[in-house]
Amino acid sequence: MNKHDKDKQPTPTTNSEPSQKLLDTKVSRRDMLRLTGATGLGLLLGGGAMGSLLSRGGTAAKAPVAPVQADSSIPFYANHQAGILTPAQNFLYFAAFDLTTTKLSDVKKLLQEWTTAAAALTTGRLVGNTNDSPNLPPSDTGEADGLTPSRCTLTFGVGPSFFDERFGLAGQRPSSLADLPPFVGDNLDPAWCGGDLCVQACADDLQVAFHAIRNLARIARGTAVLRWTQEGFQRTGEADPKNGTPRNLLGFKDGTGNPDVTDEAEMNKIVWQGSGDGPAWMNGGTYMAVRRVRFRIEVWDRSSLSDQEATFGRHRQSGAPIGARDEFDKLDLKAADASGKPLIPADSHSALAHGDGTVKMLRRSYSYSGGLNAKTGQLDAGLLFISFQRDLVKQFVTIQQRLSRNDRLNEYMVHVGSAVFACFPGVREGGFIGDTLLG
């Protein structure tokens, strides 16, 4: 299905990820965990339950230390794009764009202009240089003037439709970059699907994130238009001084089972594409899966605590696997009660997301609330599930198919939006977003 049917350069000394001395500020163990699951529900997303929940059980990132300051800035120029391994900020503003041009030169010019703007936005500077002339429209919309960078990151990607016949790039499309196959239980709305380009804006202030997308959309006029957007949130550091694992809107902790983002070897195995994986322009990049998952909150709220915990395979209060005491205790799928019945149900979200433990991905999801559904009178709230992986088919699709068929969580959720994107490798000083493909 295509997007209409669906729904020179010096090597930088700093990197945009935690292991690269992010913001010259040490990152706490909890910040590393928040990194990705930020929103709750590790729901991997699936046609039923997959969502960011992916509670796989496992070890937490081991990196003590001081929390990241809200006024710090994250380098835009780096080997990898920021907003992937970066500890998850408080807010998200996600945008998918459709290109309205058929000229590749226009696309290249847009990405060059976005690069200049992104370098300014992530440091708290105004976009452009005509903000003081009384006779010209300001080049920056101004609503973030005077605000700190708030750890703003901008992550860019291209969808499968980017490689159609318009730009002559079909031969450069990675083999795994294709619209996701149908999953059991999907009820996708084209209004929440697809896109030629995407920008994931994250920040510790929602106005800062909105300001970034607004200005990028303004720059894109005449070349690209917004296709769909989604705001997201998680609990803030002020609300949780202990900086624990965030909870999703179903009340369970999310992000417990994410891999350790400070482990470079692990990230090369799970997240970053290497030489030989596909086209050379993607070396150092990654693939993003995005699913808009609406929770059936009213049904969930009438379920007993024991049913809820059996659905997740974890205790709600502690986040520990059923039968264990600590959130980060190993997920023991063989543990049984006196009668021989497994403590963690085989069809629980944790058990199915974990599988045999060999297939992993990095989740970085956010909760959302869209008000009331006018047709049903119920809350339109849930999870914007986002994951990053080295191979969409081998990792995301494999786990999602397992979850969509059998996950208990499917009873309480429905997947209404879907998109995938190839996220470029990082931008070096003097280069531009996507220059490995278009440069």
**Which of 71, 63, 84, 67 lies closest to 16, judged by CA?**
84
Residue 407 lies in a domain: yes
Residue 9 lies in a domain: no
Q: Are strands 286-295 and 153-158 parallel, antiparallel or unpaired?
A: unpaired
What is the pLDDT at residue 7? 41
Residue 429 lies in a domain: yes
Residue 7 lies in a domain: no
Residue 196 lies in a domain: yes
The structure tokens listed for 51 are 């969502």
What is the pLDDT at residue 20? 40
What is the pLDDT at residue 244? 84
Q: What is the pLDDT of residues 347-395, one digit of tens each?
A: 999 999 999 999 999 999 999 999 998 888 999 999 999 999 999 999 9
Q: What is the mean pLDDT of each run of 10 residues along the chain (439 residues)?
A: 42 40 41 41 38 39 42 91 96 98 98 98 95 94 96 98 97 96 97 98 97 98 98 92 90 92 97 95 98 98 98 97 95 94 97 95 96 92 98 97 98 98 97 97
Residue 394 lies in a domain: yes
Q: What are the start-end ranges of the H helices in 29-151?
A: 29-37, 104-121
- 226 CA to centre of own chain: 18
Task: State pTM to two decimals.
Answer: 0.84
Report the number of distinct structural domains present in the chain. Answer: 1
Residue 2 lies in a domain: no
Contact 373, 382 (CB under 8 A): no
Residue 8 lies in a domain: no
Contact 274, 268 (CB under 8 A): yes
Torsion of CA 288, 112, 35, 226, to 10 degrees: -60
Determine the Cα–Cα distance for residues 314 and 334; give it in Å rounded to an integer: 15
What is the pLDDT at residue 68? 45
Q: Which domain holds residue 97?
A: 18-61+68-131+139-438
